[in-house]
Amino acid sequence: MPPKITKLGREGAEHWAVIASLIETCKLIGVEPHAYITDVITRIVAGHPQRRLDQLLPWAYQVDATLKAVA
């Protein structure tokens, strides 16, 4: 019988899946993931409008030259 996943464990797995998806999406579009996530969190904390969170999604993100991935 498979191990039972607790609610906390399932939520943790779901959160990790979101982060992993963001990281892989960044890689696919040529944005350095760590810099992207750091910048997005900084912008949110600084008061980026909630109604404009779509601007911070990886595919709509305005890529700063410092965030471009170095291949």
- Per-residue pLDDT tens digits for 35-62: 899 999 999 999 999 999 899 998 887 6
**This prediction's pTM:** 0.68
pLDDT at 63: 60
pLDDT at 41: 92
Domain range holding 42? Answer: 30-71
Which among 48, 43, 50 is positioned nearest to 67, based on CA atoms?
43
Least confident window among 2-11, 26-35, 43-52: 2-11
CA 15 distance to own-chain centroid: 10
Calpha distance 38→6 (Å, rounded): 30
Calpha distance 38→71 (Å, rounded): 20
25 within some domain:
no
DSSP 30: T
Residue 68: strand pairing partners: 31
What is the number of domains present in the chain?
Answer: 1
5 within some domain:
no
